[in-house]
Structure 1
Amino acid sequence: MPNAVEMSLLQHLQNIPDPRVQRTRRHELQSILVVALCATIAGADNCVEMAEFGQQHQDWFERLVPLPSGIASHDTFARVFRLLDAKELERACQQWLAQVAGRVHGTVAIDGKSVRGSSKADARRPLHMVSAWAADMGLLLGQCKVDGKSNEITAIPELLRLLHLKGCIVTIDAIGCQKSIAQQLHEHGADYVLSLKGNQRHMHQVVQKHFEVQGSQERFEENTYTESCSGHGRQELRSYRLSPVPGALQRAAAHWPGLTSVVQVVRRRQQAGSEASEEVSYYLSSLPAHTPAKVLAHSIRAHWSVENQLHWSLDVAMREDAAQSYKDQSPHNQTVLRRMALQVLKNDTSVKIGLQAKRKRAGWSLGYLELLLGISV
């Protein structure tokens, strides 16, 4: 039988309201969702493949979920995903992820990703999802759809309301460098490191001048940290400098709850056979200015794990950008399903193979699929 966590997941799926007319239902909604989730874990990328996987393993599924009318056709899978309220599936996913994560700690990166296969050339822009990624835990904490007429500024607060981030360090790109978001994080007991760019022009100019003046006068406090790395024919030196909020920003800083420090990061890159390049970035942070610069360096660097470990995995291992789904609620529902499947695969440490290999193994071996789901059928 499923353990406590997986039983909770199945219960959440079971509690999702069925949008179909009662008299026309031949297949239970929970059964359709369980087959779809298992098939997605095992390598299915669309409704045709979900139905095919279910039919090939119907005897196994009959011991797991009710199948009075057998496995649904691919048309039924497609119709259900079009009609199903994506917010209900998202809520079930969020509740399960919260149980898997437990108490969240370390750096949490907030970032968005477009699902390119969810839009045609003559249609609206593709579905865009904002995700929260616990970088130090390797866990997806939640996701939120960006409204088609809006941007990440409105989606990030909605996502943050779903999470318990007390004691965490939250990193967000420049689009999330907003006073309201800083206030929300501060009220939740989380620290923040927000990328500062041209959308906050005045603050960016003052912080830039502050570090330039300090650098020219060689009056930097000793709260600095430098690290280097090399690979793929490239060498990079990163220098971090942490300073209290400049006096010229004290009045503006009063409107940014928790703001106590500013950060400069200088990245110098040398590619084999080309000239060296330099990039300078700035950040606003609620961490005290006496916080070791190494801590800020870790969080700033960890932010990119949302790209390397989450978005890259969705594109390469889960083939998200290649998924052609356009109509109604279907793109959103299948995106949530892929994220659930991805986290199930990432949770497994029993084998030292990549995500694509895990998906194939789950398709080849029902025993391994049972291990991933924590069940015994």
Structure 2
Amino acid sequence: MADPRRVDLDEIVLHFHELEDPRSSINLQHPLTSVIAIALMAILAGAAGPTAIARWAVMKEAFLVRVLDLPNGIPRKDVFRRVLMALKPDAFQSCFAGWLRSLRATAEAETGIEQPVLAVDGKTARRSHDRKNGLGALHSVSVWASEYGLSLGQVACAEKSNEITAIPELLRQVDIEGAIITIDAMGTQKAIAERIVEGKADYVLALKGNQGTMHQVVINHILEQWEDDFAGVDAGRHQTVESGHGRRETRTYIQLPVPQDLPGLRSWNGLKSIGIAVSESVRDGKETDEVRYYISSLTVDVQRFARAVRSHWGIENGCHWSLDVTYREDESRIREKCLRENMAWLNRLSLSLLKQHPGRESVAMKRRSCGWSEEFLLQVIVGSTN
């Protein structure tokens, strides 16, 4: 009788079958799909590189030979390293597309959110540089579906480049139709706004001084309307108050139609509204405040605007923080270009899987549990708690 755990895992491994094997066919001993599946499971269990992946696999040999196709036993460390070095990062990510679509559909059904906020932001793996060989630290831009807890794509910024060139490529890789795309001020570019609209999505883009005249005009217009409490415009206002751990924070969101005299209005595809988010915080008697300005393709619906602004920070709190603290990604010394990009993607994919698990434990505790319990590991990777 077939092991039901193997049957479940076989459904996941199917996603890798179309990935072209970059290895020579001479003396090929280990199926590519099994090598990738082991790498992903080991990272879920706490591994951070090829050596740790191989070590985990040896310790779990009895389990792995039951659930995977391993005709020649457990691969050695060099096998994992060569495979993850040879796989082109864009091809490697694309083989997970079907799996991600399935996870996204499940998350949409469970949350009831049909217009998700997809936050786009960059992150640097600070110790991944190799100055001796002229390799800078890995800086990648990723898409994080904040309300779903899903990483949908990642693109590494080219050497001597920046996020402005990486973001359009990333948006082409990810299905953004029907979503709200949020990006920090660096990504507030006409070409990026156009790409979002072409992808049948909406945008909420932050404004800072890099937009020069436009930034100041938006500030002036909002302050002018504020003087008579927005009596002359069809503005929306929303406020939230949160308290806890000795801190009280009030957030005020205001959204209004874009002024028709905004500089270069017609060159911003789909631009319909502008907005402001004011955060006032009191902690231990000390008051701080922060003001952010935005442009958006959304019509005036302030609660939807507020949700987009607030959800954007999910990529910092729900993704980047976990990668730094739980995965210790900032401390990684992997310096080979493709290897570090593929490991970064596996980190994000495994984090997404951990967040889909319904248990209320922290990500760190779930990851430890994957290392302790084969049953829990399979629950996470196949999406079942039965």
TM-score of the aligned structures, taking structure 1 as reference length: 0.91
CA distance in 2, matches of 1:182, 1:264: 19
Shift of 1:29: 2.2
TM-score of the aligned structures, taking structure 2 as reference length: 0.89
* 2:204 and 2:297 in contact (8 A); partners too: yes
- Counterpart of 2:43 (choices 40, 45, 58) is 40
Structure 2 residue aligned with 1:312: 321
* 1:130 and 1:146 in contact (8 A); partners too: yes
Structure 2 residue aligned with 1:127: 138
Structure 1 residue aligned with 2:260: 247
- Counterpart of 1:55 (choices 58, 66, 74) is 58
1:233/1:157 CA distance change after superposition, 3 Å: same
1:375/1:58 CA distance change after superposition, 3 Å: farther
Structure 1 residue aligned with 2:71: 68
What CA deviation, in whole Å up to 9, does each residue of 1:158-206 have, x standing for no partner?
1111222232221111111111111122222211110011111111010
What CA deviation, in whole Å up to 9, does each residue of 1:259-288 have, x standing for no partner?
1111022222223143x2332211001111
SS of residue matched to 1:22 = coil
What CA deviation, in whole Å up to 9, does each residue of 1:20-65 have, x standing for no partner?
2222433332222121111111111222221111111212211222
Q: Does 1:100 align with 2:114?
A: no
* 1:3 and 1:374 in contact (8 A); partners too: no
* 1:270 and 1:277 in contact (8 A); partners too: yes
CA distance in 1, matches of 2:229, 2:88: 59
CA distance in 2, matches of 1:196, 1:224: 19
CA distance in 2, matches of 1:16, 1:223: 49
Q: Which runs of 5+ in 2 are unaligned?
A: 109-113
Shift of 1:217: 4.2
1:189/1:339 CA distance change after superposition, 3 Å: same
Structure 2 residue aligned with 1:189: 200
1:1-377 to structure 2, matched below 5 A, reads 1=4, 7=10, 9-102=12-105, 105-120=115-130, 122=132, 123-220=134-231, 221=233, 223-249=236-262, 252-274=264-286, 276-289=287-300, 291=301, 293-349=302-358, 351-374=359-382
Shift of 1:304: 0.2
RMSD of aligned residue pairs (Cα, Å): 2.3
CA distance in 2, matches of 1:224, 1:183: 27
1:4/1:107 CA distance change after superposition, 3 Å: farther
Shift of 1:19: 2.1
Structure 1 residue aligned with 2:111: none
CA distance in 1, matches of 2:346, 2:214: 40
* 1:83 and 1:328 in contact (8 A); partners too: no
SS of residue matched to 1:236 = strand
CA distance in 2, matches of 1:184, 1:6: 37
SS of residue matched to 1:278 = strand
What CA deviation, in whole Å up to 9, does each residue of 1:207-248 have, x standing for no partner?
111112222344444521222223343322222221211232
* 2:141 and 2:157 in contact (8 A); partners too: yes
Give the fraction of aligned pairs with identical amino acids, expressed as a percent. Answer: 37
Shift of 1:333: 1.2
1:164/1:20 CA distance change after superposition, 3 Å: closer
CA distance in 1, matches of 2:282, 2:245: 11
1:105/1:225 CA distance change after superposition, 3 Å: closer
* 2:6 and 2:67 in contact (8 A); partners too: no
CA distance in 2, matches of 1:146, 1:6: 33
* 2:357 and 2:383 in contact (8 A); partners too: no
